[in-house]
Amino acid sequence: MKIFIVAAFAVGILINPVGAVMSAKDALVSCVNSVIPSLFPFFVCSRMLIEMGAADKLGRLLSPVMKPLFGVGGDGALAFVLGILSGYPVGASAATDLVKNGGVTKSEAEKLLGYCNNSGPLFILGTLGAGLLGNVALGWILYASHIMSALTIAFLMRTVPCEISTAKRNNLSLPDKHFGEIMADAVGGGAQSVFAVCGFVIIFAILADSLESFGIFRLFSFVGMDYNVCKVFVLGFLEPVGGCVFAAKMFLNSPVVRGIVLSMVLGWSGISVHLQVLGIIKKEGLSAKYYFLGKSGMAVVSPIYTYIILKLFPEFATTSVFSPSNMASAAPFPYISWFICATVIFVLVAQLIPVKKY
């Protein structure tokens, strides 16, 4: 089966070599303009923070919150924070590094994978919001929905059993390395990781072109589905950057639908990201069961949050970043903050409500 898939991929390139080259060039431009600037600094910072003991310090600080709310030890907070501040697959990489350094157990890391591997603000706000959509307000809405869906999944997965060993964290001994050595290792590892991510983006861009060459998208039109709509969902299912780019261009006359589709693509993350995560977690023998469960849940929950916000504040769906007067009147920061706070309050209140046993 694997040989057949690779052979079909090669045949697709041979059928339309010009299209494959153009797709690769477009993907490479996306990597240079978006992927590398938004991921590389966080890959480096993630590795340096873990090596210098930041996970241990953050874990001790947030342990009273992480345990009752999300059912994991405090050290997992570093993977979650890096996951929502950086981008795919930094959260998964951080969780794996924590297992390697003894900060979390394998079962904790597997649970964290369900909600710590997320898209970052530089991509959603910069590349997607300001660049592709020309709408910073909608970018903030998409990012807020993304974070709230991750928090929701984290709360829903709190009852998943996992081993939390506080003794391992208290006795954690970090290697005595010079700062220069730590930075050199982090830069080298970060460069290797970000180039691997770019490789996946390019390969899946060529794969999408090969599918179009084989007429896969047109097959759906025979069952009454629109060609462009099918292409959006297939691209989004395969790779988030290409899916978001095409979705941003597709639903120009339906801003609410566009926001929902983009939230779904960002929540699911794409097979491209999933394969990257599988390659990362394989190093520590982690299971991807809860990872796929969490990403599927985010693909459902995030569009719901986006729909609610856009229905309550429809002006944000059409506000242009290039209009200063509109930006001043439609800045969504207070409302986005309110929604994030509301989600956190809901989680806190739900945790305090006693559950009756019958």
pLDDT tens for each residue of 289-326: 999 999 999 999 999 999 999 988 887 776 544 343 33
| 176-222 pLDDT tens trace | 677 788 888 888 888 887 888 788 888 888 888 887 777 777 776 66
Q: What does pTM read for this prediction?
A: 0.76
Rounded Cα distance, 232 and 230, in Å: 5
Q: What is the DSSP string of 113-181?
A: TTTS----HIIIIIIIIIIIIS-HHHHHHHHHHHHHHHHHHHHHTTTS-----HHHHHT-------HHH
Calculate the dihedral angle through the C-alpha atoms of 10, 16, 17, 21, rounding to the nearest 10 degrees.
Answer: -100
What does the mean pLDDT of the chain come to?
Answer: 78
91 neighbors 298 (Cβ within 8 angstroms): no
Collect the ranges in the chain with pLDDT lower than 50. 167-173, 320-336, 338-340, 343, 347, 350-353, 355-358
